[in-house]
Every structure is written in C-alpha cells, then in structure tokens.
Structure 1
Amino acid sequence: MATIKEIKELLTTITDLESSLFEELGKDPRAGVQKEIQKRKREIQAELEEINRLETMLRYEKELYAEGINLIAGVDEVGRGPLAGPVVAAAVILPKDCKIKGLNDSKKIPKKKHMEIFQAVKNQALAIGIGIMDNHVIDQVNIYESTKLAMKEAISKLEPQPQHLLIDAMKLDLPISQTSIIKGDANSLSIAAASIIAKVTRDELMAHYDQEFPGYDFAQNAGYGTAKHLEGLAKLGLTAIHRTSFEPIKSMVATSKEN
C-alpha cells in the first residue's frame, strides 16, 4: 500500500476534477488520504476559478485582438488622495493573452504579494512606462490635471508605442485610440498590471521619503492622512513633499502666513 506521502505526490499530478484517479484513491479508507484528496480538489477548483477570473479580465483586450490590435497599453495611477508625495502613473503592454496568476486591482492584492506580482509583470511585459508628477506640479495644476500629465509621461516612455490604450476612468488628449473603463483596474488585466507597477513604485518612493522626513510614518501610510501622519504634521510641520493645495495643509499654510 502506498504511503500517504506518496499519494500526496501523486495527487499533485492531477489537474482535472473529473480524473478517475480521485475515484480510485477515494477507496482508501485512511483519514489522511481522504484529507489530501479533498485538499487537492479545493486547489484545482481555486485554480479553475483563477483561470476564469483572468479570462474575464481579458475581455476588453480580446475584443481588440479580434480587430488585429495587439499592442495594448493598460494605464493607471496611484496617489490622488494623499496629503504628501507625488502621483505616479504606469503604462504597461502585456503580451497577447498574457495571464499572470494573482494579478488584480492592486488594492485587492495582499500587501505581502505586491512585490511578487510586480516582478511577474516586469518579467512578462513587452513594455513598461512610468510617469511621476510631484507635489509642486499637483499644487500648480490640480490633482486631476497632474494625473493626466503623469499618464501621458508614462505612455511616452513605452517602446514600442501602443496601438490602443485601456485607461482607468480617464480620457487623454493623445493621438492614440483609447477606451476609458470604470474601475478599470478590476476589469482589465492590462490596467491591473499598470496598477501594481504604479503602486509598488510609489510605495518605494514614499519609503525613501520616510528616511528623509522621519516622523510622518510615510513608509506605512504612503502620504495618506492617517492619525500618525496628522500627528507628525502637528508636531513637526510641513515637509518639502506636502501638497499645500490639500486640506488640512492648505489651512495650516494660511494660518502660518497670518501669524
């Protein structure tokens, strides 16, 4: 009789829930064997669901592939809401029908998986472009316009240049055909790829700023207005990366001028 360890290894070779091996091994009365069978079935089911999810997230891309358009750039940004730091945009061209396990809207990816999926996108992408607009640009032209500028910069860095853009809820004044998708990072794999590239890039920038400007917890809050960040503002005042057009910083600046 095979050991449970040997059966466990055999189960890893099964990729079909309808496999006759499940029925054959199911005759084994040992609880350990039954436990491993159920575990493998759950793993296969999860893998099938992930494949279906990725297929669904490729639906916009597949429509374009059918028209002969293969160089499709997903475009997304991170950092509209923070009180400090830049807005970062990324543009990513994935190979045709590329499926990266776990790739999703970066907000839905567990933090511990960010770097792994970021690396998978970098390894498989045909092209990646990144655009960064700092807090001074944001204060000059507003966050919406800064986001568009960052996206345009990211797209300009792509080589090859894309034939079509899939953009998260935005239209850009560019001579490239484009589709604006509401909640695009959750509905398009190309936009999701741009989302994780932008997210990890910005998080790394804010971790660097945390070293330069300690006391605001930038490495943890990425510049968002958390309690620790606001506490740092109250104790230490503004830094060179704070957005003076955002509240409560705008009021802090006005008050300091009055005094």
Structure 2
Amino acid sequence: MLIIFALFYFSEVYSFNMKKETSKPNYNLERDIGGVICGVDEVGRGPLAGPVIAAAVILDPANIPLHLNDSKKLSAKKRQALNDIIIATAEYAYGEASLEEIDELNILHASLLAMSRAVANLPRKVDHVLVDGNKLPALDAPATAVIKGDQKSVSIAAASIIAKIKRDFLMKNLAKMHPEYGWERNSGYGTREHMEALSLVGPSRFHRKSFAPIRDLMTQENNIND
C-alpha cells in the first residue's frame, strides 16, 4: 500500500489496466486516493481546425450524475443532458490552447497546456488530479495519468463530456463565419465534406497550419503562386 501511495503522491504515470475494458467508469480511484479530486480531459487533438479545449471537474461525492461515460460513447442528446447536470452539480473549469500554440508547440504539448490551464482555473485547489492518457501536464498538485481514464474514472468522464460540448459549441460558432467546411457537423475533423471544401476553397485562418493536410494544401497554393 505504501508503494502505491508513493506512486500517487509523486505524480507518477500509472496505468489502471482492467480486464474488462467495456466496464463503465466509477468513483473507485477517487475514493482510494481520498481528498479533493478533479478529473481532467481534453477534446480536439485530431481535428484540422479549431483550438484544443480541456475541462477539469470536481464531482460532489454525494451527488454523482448517473450514466457518466466516455463522451465518445454517448449520443449527442445524452451528452448534452449529462453536460447540463454536471455544470449544475459539480465544480468545473475550462482551459484552451490556441491555433497558434498548437502550431508552435505541437498538438501533444498544446493539449497538455490546455489541461494545465483547466486545472488552474478551478475555483479551489485540489489534492490530486486524475489525467486522461499517459502524459502529465504541468500541475501544482500530485497527479496520476490514467490510460483510457474516461472509461475508468467518473471525474475524467465528466470532464470529457463538458469539454466536448464546449468545443462543439465553439466550432458551431466558427461555422457561421465559414459555413463551407461544415464545422457544425464535423467539429473540424477531416471528414469527406471538410476535405472536399478544403480542395475547393483552401484553408481558413482557423485551420491548423502544422497539420499535414493543411500544410500540404498551403504548399501547393504557394507553388501555384510562385
């Protein structure tokens, strides 16, 4: 037990491997660690456009919403309903990494930066942070990286849900300025609709210049103009 506690306290990466990966997230990690725990997750590593959004959530142990799960496993309707419950019953904050930071730092480090900002923006300090994935962002509290954490911890699952809703809302607003890309439907991911629009009209100022499809299109445009 002392060894396990030391792993938690000194913020080591620890993979909570489960035999049944299909099991739903629960509050076991939070209960075992004790104290004020927040879960943090990010959304938007894969899209060709838009920022990365992270969320940090401190759930009320006496009022944990039912049916929390990885946001990707939920329908849009269920995701929105859970989002509304989470923001009404939990403490939470968001963090963002801009397009410029994504292009300058790379998507991994920009994602970690967004996570750091989300935790820093929480209304109070926490005793421990549960981070989705296998990398830890810079934090002022002990932390544990949990591989597939949004399928194991309800705190991380809650963070994944509100981060997804936040980013989808942002992309729908950007779509009003650039309706040709269909961002209100694809959230900036490289769908057929999005790629066809890129081939016709080229990238916008909201596209990630460091991502290969966008970088290649910009190189082609520069070659044509030379």
* TM-score, normalization by structure 2: 0.86
Q: Is 2:216 the counterpart of 1:246?
A: no
1:114-134 C-alpha deviation (Å, 9 max, x unpaired) = 211000000110x21101112
Matches within 5 A, 1:115-126: 115-125=80-90
CA positional deviation for 1:99:
2.4
- Equivalent of 1:108 in 73, 79, 84: 73
CA-to-aligned-CA distance 1:130-185 (integer Å, 9 cap, x gap): 01112221011100010011011111110111111000013122231111100000
Q: For the residues of structure 1 that align with 2:138 and 2:124, how far apart are their CA atoms? A: 19
Corresponding residue of 2:33: 64
Unaligned runs of 5+ in 1: 1-52
Task: State the identity %.
Answer: 41
**Larger proportion of helix:** 1
- How far has the Cα of 1:232 moved from its partner? 0.8
1:33-112 matches, within 5 Å, as 57-65=26-34, 69=35, 71-112=36-77
Q: Return structure 1 stretches of 4+ with deviation > 4 angstroms.
A: none
2:137 aligned to which of 158, 172, 180: 172
Larger relative contact order, structure 1 or 2 (CA cutoff 8 Å, min sep 6): 2
Partners of 2:113 and 2:137 within 8 A in 1: no
1:97 CA displacement: 4.7
* Contact preservation (8 Å) 1:103, 1:189: yes
Structure 1 segment 232-243 matched on structure 2, within 5 A: 232-243=197-208
Residue of structure 1 in register with 2:4 after alignment: none
Given that residues 82 and 225 in structure 1 are in contact (C-alpha distance below 8 angstroms), is that contact kept between their aligned partners in structure 2? yes
Which of the numbers 130, 147, 157 marks the counterpart of 2:111?
A: 147
| Contact 1:102–1:109 under 8 Å retained in 2 | no
Task: Report the RMSD for the aligned CA atoms in angstroms.
Answer: 1.3
One of 174, 184, 190 as aligned partner of 1:225? 190
- Residue 99 of structure 2, aligned match among 112, 123, 135: 135
Q: Tell me, yes or no, if the aligned pair for 1:91 and 1:128 is still in contact at 8 Å.
A: yes
Alpha-carbon distance in 2 for matches of 1:221, 1:75 = 23
Letter of the 1:57 partner, please give it. Answer: N
In the alignment, structure 2 segments of 5+ residues that lack a partner are 1-22
**1:155 partner letter:** V
TM-score normalised by length of structure 1: 0.75
Deviations 1:200-258 (A, max 9, x none): 00000011011111110100000000000001111111111100111211111112222
Deviation of residue 96 (structure 1)?
2.1
Paired amino acid for 2:26 = M
Distance 2:147 2:216 in 1: 33
Residue 162 of structure 1, aligned match among 85, 107, 126: 126
Instruction: Work out whether residues 89 and 130 of structure 1, in 8 Å CA contact, stay in contact via their aligned partners in 2.
Output: yes
Q: Measure the CA separation in 2 of the matches of 1:225 and 1:175.
A: 36
Q: Secondary structure at the residue paired with 1:224?
A: coil
Q: CA deviation at 1:105?
A: 0.6
* Equivalent residue letter for 1:145: H
Equivalent residues, number: 201
Three-state SS of the structure 1 residue aligned to 2:181 is coil
Code of the residue aligned with 2:150 in structure 1: it is: D
Map of 2:223 onto structure 1: 258
